[in-house]
């Protein structure tokens, strides 16, 4: 098994950001930010987008090749976000992903446990980490929609104990995509869960959550925090400004460079909020 940088982050009181990618410029901007900040990073590819990204093997190899070409030195975990089935998680494991999430949150807990366990047994044989989810993250993102459903504490305990997964995402009021109104995280439940399970917790739907609440979540055991929307919004804004600023522009490089820099800038801000800057101490064996 690779060194568990997420466990290390939990013990050291910071979180490693997971940033989801939507193409090559995301890989470039995020890796640049992580290298500049000397931060370990988790690159997320959501299962719903795999076909658009070119398939498990293609996107995995592309991330690795890009990191090599950029001479990136920081530890990178390549993660399957919201794995839609046991089978898909196995594909990602076989392709060489470092970590997979099996999203059994819409299943009855017994079925969630059964399927997550199957993923864990398969993944652990190959040294791949597994994340599981209890409750439901709300909102809409990449074609995944859901109503907020707070995680049940006993279900969290059972999922962790029976599957031996590596990280747990207990849904506690966060949403994917843009928040309608103020985020309302269940910190009391968060405290209870972290006292009952010893694996690091994962916070989904972090875009739009205040720095104050993020720091509370990190103190309460969250060592992996997922971002997508915030990065996409900064990319879109810059792209729009560039195109509107010069109606005659058609050079892809001139159009894409500023928006890639916007990704980099937002990624650096996220890294600092998570406290993972200058935490490049963990050596990952490949
Ligand atoms: P945001 O939509 O809040 O960025 O959340 C991303 C996420 O949780 C991916 O799993």
pLDDT higher than threshold 60 for residue 2: no
Is the CB of residue 206 below 6 angstroms from any atom belonging to ligand 1? yes
Find the mean pLDDT for residues 7-17: 96
- Cα(243) to ligand 1 centroid in Å equals 27
Tokens read off for 211: 């720095």
Tell me if 32 sits within 8 A of 70, measured CB to CB: yes
Calpha distance 176→4 (Å, rounded): 26
Give per-residue pLDDT as tens, 246-260. Answer: 999 999 999 999 999
d(CA 67, CA 195): 37
**Strands, E assignment, 84-166:** 99-102, 129-134, 138-141, 144-146
Query: Considering the entire predicted model, what is its pTM?
Result: 0.95
Query: Of ligand 1's atoms, which has the minimum distance to the CA of residue 227?
Result: 4
Q: Among 229, 234, 236, say which to mutate for ligand 1: greatest number of ligand atoms within 8 Å of CB.
A: 229
Pocket test of ligand 1: the residue of 204, 208, 217, 236 to mutate, having most ligand atoms within 8 Å of its CB, is 204
| Ligand 1 touching residue 228 (CB < 6 A) | yes
pLDDT in tens, 159-186: 999 999 999 999 998 888 888 888 889 9
Protein residue closest via CA to atom 9 of ligand 1: 226
Q: Are strands 16-20 and 41-46 parallel, antiparallel or unpaired?
A: parallel
Report how far residue 19's alpha carbon sits from residue 158's, in angstroms, rounded to the nearest whole number: 28
| Cα-to-centroid distance, 20 and ligand 1 (Å) | 8
Band (278; pLDDT cuts 50, 70, 90): very high
Which atom of ligand 1 approaches the CA of 229 most closely? 4
Tell me how far the alpha carbon of residue 249 lies from the centroid of ligand 1, in angstroms.
Answer: 32
Q: pLDDT-derived band of residue 1, with 50, 70 and 90 as boundaries?
A: very low
Best mutation site among 177, 231, 232, 273 for ligand 1 pocket (most ligand atoms within 8 Å of CB): 177
Using a pLDDT cut of 70, give the percent of the chain over it: 97
Q: Flag whether pLDDT at 285 surpasses 50.
A: no
Evaluate: CB of 225 within 6 angstroms of ligand 1: no
Residue with tokens 């103020």: 182
| Residue corresponding to tokens 């209870």 | 192
Q: Would you say residue 269 has pLDDT above 90?
A: yes
Nearest CA to ligand 1 atom 1: 205
The SS3 call for residue 148 is coil
Query: With 50 as the cut, is the pLDDT of residue 286 above it?
Result: no
What is the reported pLDDT for 138? 81
Q: Which atom of ligand 1 is nearest to the CA of 206?
A: 3
Regarding the beta carbon of 229 and ligand 1, being less than 6 Å apart is answered yes
Q: Assign 3-class secondary structure to 179-218.
A: CCCCCCCCHHHHHHHHHHCCCCEEECCCCCCCHHHHHHHH
Whole-angstrom distance, CA of residue 208 vs CA of residue 194: 23
Nearest to 46 by CA among 198, 231, 211: 231
Convert the pLDDT of each residue in 41-94 to its tens digit: 999 999 999 999 999 999 999 999 999 999 999 999 999 999 999 999 999 999
CA 251 to centroid of ligand 1, rounded, Å: 31
CB 185 within 8 A of CB 225: no
Catalytic residues: 81
């Amino acid at each position: 098994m690779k060194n568990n940088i997420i466990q290390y982050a939990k013990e050291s009181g910071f979180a490693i950001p997971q940033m989801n990618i939507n193409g090559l410029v995301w890989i470039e901007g995020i890796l640049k930010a992580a290298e500049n900040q000397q931060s370990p990073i988790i690159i997320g590819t959501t299962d719903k987008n795999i076909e658009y990204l070119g398939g498990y093997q293609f996107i995995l190899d592309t991330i690795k090749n890009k990191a090599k070409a950029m001479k990136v030195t920081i530890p990178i975990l390549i993660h399957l976000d919201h794995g839609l089935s046991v089978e898909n998680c196995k594909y990602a494991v076989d392709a060489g992903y470092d970590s997979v999430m099996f999203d059994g949150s819409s299943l009855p807990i017994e079925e969630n446990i059964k399927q997550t366990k199957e993923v864990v047994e398969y993944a652990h044989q190959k040294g791949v980490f597994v994340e599981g989810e209890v409750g439901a993250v709300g909102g809409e993102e990449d074609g995944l929609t859901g109503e907020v459903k707070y995680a049940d504490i006993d279900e969290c305990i059972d999922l962790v104990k029976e599957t031996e997964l590596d990280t747990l995402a207990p849904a506690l009021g966060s949403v994917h995509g843009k928040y309608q109104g103020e985020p309302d995280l269940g910190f009391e439940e968060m405290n209870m869960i972290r006292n009952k399970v010893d694996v690091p917790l994962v916070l989904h739907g972090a875009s739009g959550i205040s720095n104050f609440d993020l720091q509370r979540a990190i103190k309460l055991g969250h060592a992996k925090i997922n971002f997508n929307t915030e990065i996409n919004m900064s990319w879109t804004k810059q792209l729009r400004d560039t195109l509107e600023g010069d109606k005659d522009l058609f050079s892809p490089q001139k159009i894409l460079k500023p928006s890639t820099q916007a990704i980099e800038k937002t990624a650096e801000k996220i890294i600092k909020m998570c406290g993972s800057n200058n935490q490049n101490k963990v050596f990952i064996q490949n």
